[in-house]
Structure 1
């Protein structure tokens, strides 16, 4: 049986409850006297001093459990209208009199500020007019997902936030207006302004921008814009492809729309298929006491998810498609390439884990993955070259963790690549894990999502819901993709499936067997004392299957760096690579000894460092953002780690067989 790690929440919740209630009495207090001296009116809030929190210790303790981002601080504040507000303050949006497009930068201008403060900030709220009053108990919700700062929260999650000081001239009041002159014509009241840029995508619900004083700790509302809606909230968007089998003759396309009426995908020469429509609701999210972010202040309506299978295709062939309807609108025409059929002579694929997303503006957001933009840009260049057949993203997909609007931003981010190739995924802890829901690890890493959004947005060729393991063949490779978050013990259904799947591989048809999952079996980055990077129970149960079925390569994420091993089993090197004529490490699997393992969780999340010493099985360690590029023929598997920022190859090795 698996020895689950229990998560003792009750005592922590009690402490958070007491402290949060203490904070709930904090309010935004403003001292102003326009009659005495209008020039010295300060619209910053005065709040009770906040307790000091040892963020460095918490970051180290929970680095591999759930990392902590700066934007978490934004969402834990007590809100209310500022008393006796400055009468000159205004907030304007560039598109105030027009509808929002599907993808644009919006200019937000705040003006009439008497004394600029570093604590002034603007939030993007959706839906507009959401409840942003004080909800002090929401501090426990952040604690569930690994944020241990003891601060109150908003009742509704702001999609984005920017300090007004993002405008470099704001604090120095370089942009001035005269609001009042004396009898001689001298200006006696001058105000300042700031201009901010927000990247906005179509999330279907209307938005507003809110100007706050008092900083992220105890903000109060100065001004709100009127709601702005999207030109077409029903627009079909964020299409992405996946394989449904090993033939290369069919491809699934999945997209999001605000319209629940079935739509179509049109492709090839006049072919079309009607979509199957699904969605999920707040009631489908998991929760505990208190509520999870997904169940409460992090919820955002996902619209409707459409999926249709394009049949009658040919493998390794380029086609065009578009999706939508006459009433909701159509996507652009997109070219895509089918993967090679299983048993073909070769396949070229990209793989990585732990990508997430990052803003394309100066905004602060929940859970920013700083490397995601450079990695997607580098992969997009590879895809446009036509030299890649498919992509495998092995867990920790969007890092939404209960803040549902972030799935839209992730889907928007990957669209340039996922709309053109088969984008296959594996589930990770930040998609599935939650307390008392059947996940192996009893943590709240999914923020209450429990795999529901993941499986809705990324339907894989699995047997049924919440059994997210599958296998597929492309070219000369058989891929066995598992869930490290579901029971993998020797008595489990998944273990029996793994054993049967790998034993059934025809090595004359697909000479290479690649095993994929999220949590690794080998890593020199130890993780935290709470949950280590490597679960020895998982290794003891599953590693013998890899050896007995002669797995060539095992790929994992979860740890946010790149690391490659020798041919290793039970912590011992069974074979070391030799150098070929070009000085490249080469593993000869003609005389098979053990799998080579590679951790490839370096696609976006803040990077993990390595200890000063490493085990003998660890041959290469790189802490840089990037991805794996693999080319497998029938006799040679060529693996490269590509640095996303430089596009240079940081590590390269071959596995050969005769």
Structure 2
């Protein structure tokens, strides 16, 4: 990189991170008396504790520091099983790998994971606070920090409209992740995340957004816990100003022998622990990440496609009760969200789970869900008003050429896959009309009574 200042507002998680991005051609004015001695107390070639002694500093200062940098050509030739553990998260990029890092929390006895081994990172203190007495549709200035370490600039936070009010303007998407702004190589990059965040920040600055919904596959840290720091830094312009609501996805929860519906190693061993720590939603209990909220004229029912949704399960009974209890005179719009879709043109590993559709789709029809939003597939699709793979109603063009669904005569939910926020877009079958889409643009309306 060219300078420290150039990327300070982007990838500067810490001063060390900035320095780590620099190319050191030579050390200017090295101290001829400086000596660094390293002593080892381990006989292992790839796993050892070392003592570092620095001498020859004439005037030691508390601002002096020593950085330990792993070798750029480290590999896993002596521990090939760890290369497999990297690959289990879905990341197949060729990065320098190391064999061992401190071991921390496991969630599975069946399979070692990055989250408890080589991907572990001490997150330090995570501070949270509950603010009460906030009025809806209001702006509140705040700062964070302390007298000892300093304070942030003043930030303006906008609360969402109260349930039962009229208009709601929200952004919804899935599968965003993060990416560096410099040329560094990091694990599991989602290149579209940068432009998506910039576009959303512009909408917020223009006053066009009341709240945000991120529907699963949040950071793609997948056990490399420092990447949660990178993601949180990326979304700071959004989440610091508006409510940032989330749903859990496979890359937050799934792992072998962990209680998830799907036994894939997609979370890298996080098993929802990191997700629920960083994004405490209004759920009933830990590892039960389903909830509902009301904003303006909309009732949102947020489920977990990664936890048991079969008929008579705890989550199934909750969904059934929650949607049946909606007061449609107060919140006439019912939006259902989850990570894995019920309909998609993508096949293979991104295909639809027919068991999930068979169990949950009847609840959507029975409770007259207006719109269902899903992620998981890294592209965009919108259905007709659909039930059991049949179009029950088609949209018609309004005077501006926008597809319009008339829910005054309800037929079935409209469903949309919105997992296009970060990854390079998945390809649909070659005979699909948008199989080569790389820029997603779509407008549609659902009308009911006097609203839309």
Q: CA deviation at 1:150?
A: 10
Per the alignment, residue 256 of structure 1 pairs with none
Pairing 1:543–2:361 present:
yes
Contact 1:563 1:598 in 2 (8 A): yes
Equivalent residue runs for 1:464-479 within 5 Å: 464-479=285-300
TM-score, with structure 1 as normaliser: 0.57
Pairing 1:557–2:375 present:
yes
Which of 435, 440, 445 lines up with 1:654 in the alignment?
Answer: 445
Q: What CA distance in whole angstroms lies between the structure 1 residues aligned with 2:238 and 2:94?
A: 40
Per the alignment, residue 403 of structure 1 pairs with 224
Pairing 1:137–2:76 present:
no
Contact 1:130 1:156 in 2 (8 A): no
Q: What CA distance in whole angstroms lies between the structure 2 residues aligned with 1:594 and 1:486?
A: 25
Q: What CA distance in whole angstroms lies between the structure 1 residues aligned with 2:427 and 2:435?
A: 9
Contact 1:564 1:620 in 2 (8 A): no
Equivalent residue runs for 1:278-293 within 5 Å: 283-288=104-109, 291-293=112-114
Pairing 1:567–2:388 present:
no
Q: CA deviation at 1:552?
A: 0.2
Per the alignment, residue 178 of structure 2 pairs with 357
Contact 1:317 1:338 in 2 (8 A): yes
Contact 1:395 1:425 in 2 (8 A): yes
Pairing 1:490–2:311 present:
yes
Contact 2:105 2:115 in 1 (8 A): no
Q: For the structure 1 residues 607 and 156, does the alpha-carbon distance in structure 2 shift closer, same or farther, using more than 3 Å as the test?
A: farther
Q: CA deviation at 1:305?
A: 1.2
Q: Compare the two structures and name the one with the higher strand fraction.
A: 1
Per the alignment, residue 313 of structure 1 pairs with 134
Contact 1:392 1:423 in 2 (8 A): yes
Q: Map Cα deviations across residues 120-173 of structure 1 (whole Å, 9 max, x no partner).
A: xxxxxx98356967533212212322356899941258xxxxxxxxxxxxxxxx
Q: Map Cα deviations across residues 200-246 of structure 1 (whole Å, 9 max, x no partner).
A: xxxxxxxxxxxxxxxxxxxxxxxxxxxxxxxxxxxxxxxxxxxxxxx
Q: For the structure 1 residues 290 and 313, does the alpha-carbon distance in structure 2 shift closer, same or farther, using more than 3 Å as the test?
A: closer
Per the alignment, residue 203 of structure 2 pairs with 382
Pairing 1:128–2:68 present:
yes
Q: Map Cα deviations across residues 407-454 of structure 1 (whole Å, 9 max, x no partner).
A: 000000000111000000000000000001110001100000000000
Q: CA deviation at 1:474?
A: 0.3
Pairing 1:110–2:25 present:
yes
Which of 409, 422, 437 lines up with 1:604 in the alignment?
Answer: 422
- Specify the SS of the correspondent of 1:319: strand
Q: What CA distance in whole angstroms lies between the structure 1 residues aligned with 2:170 and 2:281?
A: 17
Q: What CA distance in whole angstroms lies between the structure 1 residues aligned with 2:160 and 2:367?
A: 25
TM-score, with structure 2 as normaliser: 0.82
Q: What CA distance in whole angstroms lies between the structure 1 residues aligned with 2:308 and 2:274?
A: 20
Q: For the structure 1 residues 147 and 323, does the alpha-carbon distance in structure 2 shift closer, same or farther, using more than 3 Å as the test?
A: closer
- Specify the SS of the correspondent of 1:590: helix
Pairing 1:300–2:121 present:
yes
Q: Computing the radius of gyration over CA atoms, which structure comes out larger, 1 or 2?
A: 1
Q: For the structure 1 residues 100 and 314, does the alpha-carbon distance in structure 2 shift closer, same or farther, using more than 3 Å as the test?
A: closer
Q: For the structure 1 residues 564 and 290, does the alpha-carbon distance in structure 2 shift closer, same or farther, using more than 3 Å as the test?
A: closer
